[in-house]
Amino acid sequence: MPISSGLHPEPTREEGLSREQAAGLLTEYGPNALAPPPAISLWSRVFAQLRDPLIVVLLSAVALTLATADYADAVIIGAVVLFNTTVGVVQEVRADNAVAALSAMTAPTARVLRDGAEQEVASADIVPGDVLVLGEGDIVPADATLLRAAALLVDESTLTGESVPADKDAHGPDPEAAQLRAGTVVVRGRAVAAVTATGPHSALGAIAASLHPRQLLTPLQKRLAGLGKVLALVTVGLCLLVLALGLLRGQSLELMAVTAISLVVAAVPESLPAVVTLGLALGARRMAIRNAVVRRLSAVETLGSVTVLATDKTGTLTEGRMLLERVWTPHGTVAVSGSGYEPVGEFLDTGLPPAPALTDAVREVLVAGALCNDASLVPPADADTPWAALGDPTEAALLTGAAKAGCAREGLVLTRPRVGEIPFDSLRKRMTTLHSTPRGMIEIYLKGAPEAVLDASLLDEEPGLLELARTEAAALSAQGYRVLAVAAGSRTGLPEPAGTSESGLKLLGLAAISDPPKEAAEATVRACRRAGITSVLITGDHPATARSIAVRVGILRDDEAERPGLVVTGQELAAGQVPDLTRVRVFARTTPQQKLDIVQAWQARGEVTAMTGDGVNDGPALRQADIGVAMGRRGTEVARQAADLVLADDELTSVVAAVEEGRRVYANIRRFLLYALAGGAAEIMIMLLGPLFGLALPLRAGQILWINLLTHGLTGVAMGAEPASPDAMRRPPRRPNQHVLGDGLWQRVLRLSVLVTAVCIGVALWARHTGGPWQTVLFLSLLAAQLGVALGLRERVLTRRNLSLPVAVLTAAALGAAAAYVPFLANLLDTRAPSWPDIGIAAAAGLVVFLAARTESRLAKSTGDSSKPTGTSRPDRTPVRSAAP
């Protein structure tokens, strides 16, 4: 057994390809690159925006207004369409550019043997048959088979989801151990490998090819499409009725046709697309500040409707960095605090500093772990950069633990330099190093898997101690830790043969290492639980590790950890042993297809799913989910291209913020619909009922359109920027099949429209009774009433947030008064200057409606809150009714 490591001598393919051979193969197989996503033309983006159901309604309204020569209103509605389309297209282009800037999936260059010499070439120029030369930190540029390897450890988490790097060996018994996959990362060792597949023919390319474009409507698009149909039928029917009644009363056909078209425009909330777009754009902007890139505006609203959050583990819920958390010795156990690779933390025994004997025992374990180690720690370059590791993350965790104990490796190697080693390999599952001391002794340090170290042939220990250590190691493994056993010994000289150094050693202890949860992970899962969102963990990692993380972050309660059916493996899924995937909360050792099946199972149940992930193996599920969320830093290009939302800082808390943004947007849309439809319905009812009270033609067409411009166009758009309700994240998500006017909203529309109608007709009758210009007073009171509704529906009337709404209300009121007093507008709208008492009664109408809307809004909210669930997640959770906004 060799004392020092080296590549296994093997003469295979020493020369590599010739330059001519490589050029020919490149022509035959094409570049070693994934096919880029098809470019989307500007006109395709514009057309996609114009296919929105409400935009179609607005374009129809433009055609009607042009047909009646109402060019002013046609221009206004057209401006709304232009605004909506421009903002949507600009956001998509900006998001695509931001995602392109994050793209760093494959290595730009790679080292190969060509013409007998090592050369650096562009990774896109690598071809099947090339011989790769790989070292620590290299990204494997293509699928390859190992020819030679030395202590090779590869991070395959992007493909498998496994947080622990995999040992690779060209001559091991497992054929898979000799295979390298494109996109994986060499974390330790070096290798020479022959390329077997490139570009779309690689494992990475096969997964990328399975990502088909998604042609699904978002929940908001579905709801607005249904709303458009309802509005079209109801408003056209009612306006035809107004037309017929006007003709029966002897009004001219031209006058009533213009009035009917004006009512259609008034009844259709043409500012809704602008409100939706503004709300989504503001949400996207807020998300950008929170380091989240929204690739599609509708993704913000979709997150607001999410009922299930399926999350990856490594790098999403966890730090993506290994951490020494516990050290067991024959003298006791200590817990180690800290995060990441920063050498700052404490050693505690049941919350207190350990006794001196235990402290000395722990230091011996950590000194051995630091010397029997090939990794290194990289200090931060600046205040915003974390400590990093080079080499095996598990060994880096030992270095960090030793530094926390004041045993930095740099100082240790000065007094105990390494003079020999028996490197780690996948068969022995252990590593041994030999160090000289100033006294001329040779110290031997060994670490490895417990089953490979806790052996009587290696350790000179009592059988009882070995059995105790095995029991402790099994218990730590069951808790999701990666456990290393550490031993040491000494000799008077360099042992010959090498194998004799691994005998007669003393057991120092066990090191329990894991990829710990992020500090915010538990709070994030708790926030989802409060919001009625079911969290599901899907990972390629070991089931014990997955179960442990799920308990620590709150996806599983302590009493659920061992409950049958809540934690399953991909093998059980493949065997058909899981009848209902939606009852499972933790999936371990899953394949990309199984992740896809899990998402589809939830969708088949009618849930709106969000899927987070960073690996190539997450790509299909990210694309299938209603909302895909990819990590920007450690995320792969495949994951980013499949996602709707990219988290540039890899923090899951941004998803919760996005859910809140989505709920804010949806609540504002419903608030605007309540406001706009109540006003539109009141206008139609006034036109229908006014003649019954002797008001022959209650409103002129121009007056209707002027009110419509000031309420829908100015005030309505400002409502889209209203802040989120303080209890937005304490409400359950909306039922996916709920109509946008559901949950009592259409009843509220009816109540408010009846109230506005009654108040305004009453004011008009009073004005006619006193001899005032009753039509102008009706016009002003209707405007004041609708503005009163806008203020009355606010979550908090006197908030300083979104000052644009009170400014819009004041501006609309001023422009309404100008319609009665400015000669040009008075002639255009056929109004007369009212007296001050008439102005006062119109303002009083607005105040009455404001108070009524305020009271009605609070009653609706309290009624909704009374049925609000406590937010506890249940394995058999079904969609629950939500509170009214």
As given in the structure block, the two tokens for residue 67 are: 């047909």
Lowest mean pLDDT among 59-63, 69-73, 184-188, 457-461: 69-73
pLDDT at 730: 82
Q: How far apart are alpha carbons 692 and 557 in whole angstroms?
A: 65
pLDDT at 690: 81
What confidence tens digit (pLDDT) does each residue in 596-639 have? Answer: 899 999 999 989 899 988 766 677 788 888 888 888 777 666 67
Lowest mean pLDDT among 38-47, 69-78, 568-577: 69-78
Whether residue 143 has pLDDT greater than 70? yes
pLDDT at 621: 81
Distances (CA, A) of 18 to 26, 114, 617: 12, 5, 35
pLDDT at 860: 77
Higher pLDDT, 113 or 74: 113
pLDDT at 465: 94
What confidence tens digit (pLDDT) does each residue in 535-548 have? Answer: 999 988 888 888 98
Whether residue 17 has pLDDT greater than 80? yes
As given in the structure block, the two tokens for residue 808 are: 């819009």
The domains found in the chain, sorted by start residue, are 235-291+659-866 (1.20.1110.10), 308-318+519-650 (3.40.50.1000), 323-514 (3.40.1110.10)
Of all residues in the chain, the percent with pLDDT exceeding 90 is 27
End-to-end CA distance of the chain: 73
Whether residue 412 has pLDDT greater than 60? yes
pLDDT at 879: 37
Amino acid at residue number 662: G
Q: What is the mean pLDDT of the chain?
A: 81
pLDDT at 691: 79
Whether residue 313 has pLDDT greater than 60? yes
DSSP, res 318: B
Q: How far apart are alpha carbons 218 and 228 in whole angstroms?
A: 15
pLDDT at 500: 65
Whether residue 386 has pLDDT greater than 60? yes
Lowest mean pLDDT among 99-113, 153-167, 458-472: 99-113
The number of beta carbons lying within 10 Å of the beta carbon of residue 846 is: 25
pLDDT at 466: 94
**DSSP notation for 581-649:** GGG-SEEES--HHHHHHHHHHHHHTT--EEEEE-SGGGHHHHHHSSEEEEESSS--HHHHHH-SEEETT
Look at the alpha carbons of 803, 806, 812, 817 in this order and tell me if their dihedral is positive or negative. negative
The number of beta carbons lying within 10 Å of the beta carbon of residue 728 is: 21
pLDDT at 102: 41
pLDDT at 262: 60
Catalytic residues: 312
DSSP, res 556: S
Task: With CA atoms as reference, report the closest residue to 728 among 668, 809, 789, 805.
Answer: 668
Q: What angle do CA 592, 595, 598 make, to 5 degrees?
A: 155
Instruction: Compute the average pLDDT of residues 776-796.
Output: 92
pLDDT at 407: 92
Higher pLDDT, 800 or 578: 578
Instruction: Compute the average pLDDT of residues 774-798.
Output: 91
Q: How far apart are alpha carbons 688 and 242 in whole angstroms?
A: 6
Q: How far apart are alpha carbons 695 and 765 in whole angstroms?
A: 8
Please tell me which of 418-432, 668-682, 754-768 the model is most confident about, judged by mean pLDDT: 754-768
Whether residue 69 has pLDDT greater than 80? no
pLDDT at 883: 36
Asked whether 783 and 816 are in contact (CB, 8 A), the reply is yes
Distances (CA, A) of 292 to 288, 289, 362, 567: 5, 7, 42, 31
Report strand pairing: 534-538 vs 308-311. parallel
Q: Work out the pLDDT band at 87, boundaries 50, 70, 90.
A: low
Higher pLDDT, 737 or 543: 543
What global pTM score does this model have? 0.69
> CA 765: distance to chain centroid?
57
pLDDT at 70: 64
As given in the structure block, the two tokens for residue 197 are: 């597949």
Asked whether 548 and 569 are in contact (CB, 8 A), the reply is no
Look at the alpha carbons of 221, 227, 231, 233 in this order and tell me if their dihedral is positive or negative. positive
Please tell me which of 427-431, 495-499, 747-751 the model is most confident about, judged by mean pLDDT: 747-751
Instruction: Compute the average pLDDT of residues 192-203.
Output: 88
pLDDT at 272: 63
| Neighbouring-strand partners of residue 412 | none
pLDDT at 401: 95
Look at the alpha carbons of 540, 543, 545, 546 in this order and tell me if their dihedral is positive or negative. positive
pLDDT at 405: 93
Task: With CA atoms as reference, report the closest residue to 863 among 846, 878, 845, 884.
Answer: 884
What confidence tens digit (pLDDT) does each residue in 272-306 have? Answer: 666 666 667 777 777 777 777 777 766 777 778 88
Q: How far apart are alpha carbons 616 and 630 in whole angstroms?
A: 11
